[in-house]
Structure 1
């Protein structure tokens, strides 16, 4: 019951898999590789076993409340809590996707924002005081990607609440359904989902300060994964560097920040830096 616990969502491949690998090498405790698909997750664990690493496995679908609750209860019963939570699970439609923008908006924001939020609300009560939460964002999650100055101001409001942020995300989905989204929100559903996640990070930090829990968002870089159609220039292990830094090494003063892949803390509101 006393062992420390690290959890990575969506970890059967890509950056999540590499984060598990890095945690297994350095984290002083139990590392859980989780995935929606149990067979793929167990195969990922088997592959890491061949490297001499010993992650544990548990099924976790962040789009399924019952799955999250089952996982929470398992961790609580077997370990008492979580010390590191890496919210990595996400989706992205390809640039040539044929689904209408209304469908893309609902599914992308639904998983990358609302499902992550739901996962956090269910798991945060068992994150131990002093723990660390890493939200895997993106360069797409920089506020400058939102065209509307009014929206940027609302999203950057230091007093923004989760219900208010969630309402903005719902307004975007509705605008996408009506075909009126582009002028204010831009043309990328992925951008809106990751901006939402980064804004959520700032709010979560304010809410968890009294428990000394550090919550940060990170752009892992342009990584060679299925999500980038393998166009990324970084390996998955290079993409795991900044998330692992936030999970294990960053000073306790780093909290509620937006970090770039080279470990720079970036101003989320001002102009986006170059890669």
Structure 2
């Protein structure tokens, strides 16, 4: 873990108090939806741990941007499919800040093919990151999150759309939703909420890469609001669940998709 602890002069004491008191780990946070979530939580006063798997440059740039805006952020390299790496990430956050209050499970990959055309590597890679990676972080959070914390998992609205070529990806996200419901009950008595946000078509590299323009336009028109979601739309939903107004929401899947399903 590398720490960016550049003090921003002019930040008021109340903002510093909030940043010092609440710590959020956001996985897969160096770009896309994860970066938007990290930025929004930082604006809301959280100290943000920006997890990334490969691109240190993007993660460091995001941490610098957050701190320039008056927030506080550090970066943490960890492949979420590696349980030991996840454990070290939580160790480092606890060492730096004394504990963790919020976990946002955003890291994920999407590789599309029909079931007939899917090879073992396509299946194994998505299960390793999307499902096992979420399990690894949930296990650590279950043991180590401070009482009164929040866990927000990222699923996908494809779980309800059942589109061709999305079978394996949707299956991993359905598993994430199932673990959300179970963990809610297992954390009884600790005042920790566990919820899922399930984006619809969202304008990120993960979604846009490899799709012809006509396909993107068709998908944008699926929602009654007739546009693709933006990363900030999803970040707003996560911020609601992580903040005080989301305290009574527990064990739910919030489908942030503009009405696609």
Equivalent pairs counted in the alignment come to: 226
- Is the 8 Å Cα contact of residues 41 and 59 (structure 1) preserved in structure 2? no
CA distance in 2: counterparts of 1:247 and 1:211, whole angstroms: 16
CA distance in 1: counterparts of 2:185 and 2:95, whole angstroms: 28
- Is the 8 Å Cα contact of residues 241 and 261 (structure 1) preserved in structure 2? no
CA distance in 1: counterparts of 2:198 and 2:149, whole angstroms: 20
User: How many Å apart are 1:77 and its aligned residue?
Assistant: 2.2
CA distance in 1: counterparts of 2:39 and 2:166, whole angstroms: 35
Q: Which residue of 1 aligns with 2:16?
A: none
Q: Specify which of 204, 210, 216 is matched with residue 195 of structure 2.
A: 216
The answer on 1:124 being equivalent to 2:142 is yes
Pairing of 1:87-102 with structure 2 (within 5 A): 87-94=105-112, 100-102=118-120
Residues 117-147 of structure 1: per-residue CA shift (max 9 Å, x gap): 01211232110111000001110234x749x
Q: Which residue of 2 aligns with 1:85?
A: 103
Structure 1 unaligned regions, length at least 5 = 147-181, 264-272
Q: Secondary structure at the match of 1:195?
A: helix
Q: Which residue of 1 aligns with 2:63?
A: 45
- Structure 1 residues 251 and 46 mapped into 2: Cα distance closer, same or farther (>3 Å)? closer
Q: Which residue of 1 aligns with 2:260?
A: 274
- Is the 8 Å Cα contact of residues 200 and 260 (structure 2) preserved in structure 1? no
- Is the 8 Å Cα contact of residues 20 and 47 (structure 2) preserved in structure 1? no
Q: Secondary structure at the match of 1:222?
A: coil
CA distance in 1: counterparts of 2:138 and 2:26, whole angstroms: 12
The answer on 1:197 being equivalent to 2:176 is yes
User: How many Å apart are 1:60 and its aligned residue?
Assistant: 2.3
Q: Which residue of 2 aligns with 1:31?
A: 48
Pairing of 1:1-275 with structure 2 (within 5 A): 3-27=21-45, 29-37=46-54, 38-94=56-112, 100-142=118-160, 145=162, 188-229=167-208, 231=216, 233-261=228-256, 274-275=260-261
What is the RMSD of the two structures over their aligned residues, measured on CA atoms?
2.9
User: How many Å apart are 1:253 and its aligned residue?
Assistant: 2.3
- Is the 8 Å Cα contact of residues 136 and 243 (structure 1) preserved in structure 2? no
Q: What is the TM-score with the length of structure 1 in the denominator?
A: 0.73
User: How many Å apart are 1:53 and its aligned residue?
Assistant: 4.1
- Is the 8 Å Cα contact of residues 113 and 166 (structure 2) preserved in structure 1? no
Of stretches 129-138 and 53-62 in structure 1, the one that deviates more from structure 2 is: 53-62
CA distance in 1: counterparts of 2:253 and 2:34, whole angstroms: 18
Of stretches 206-215 and 223-232 in structure 1, the one that deviates more from structure 2 is: 223-232
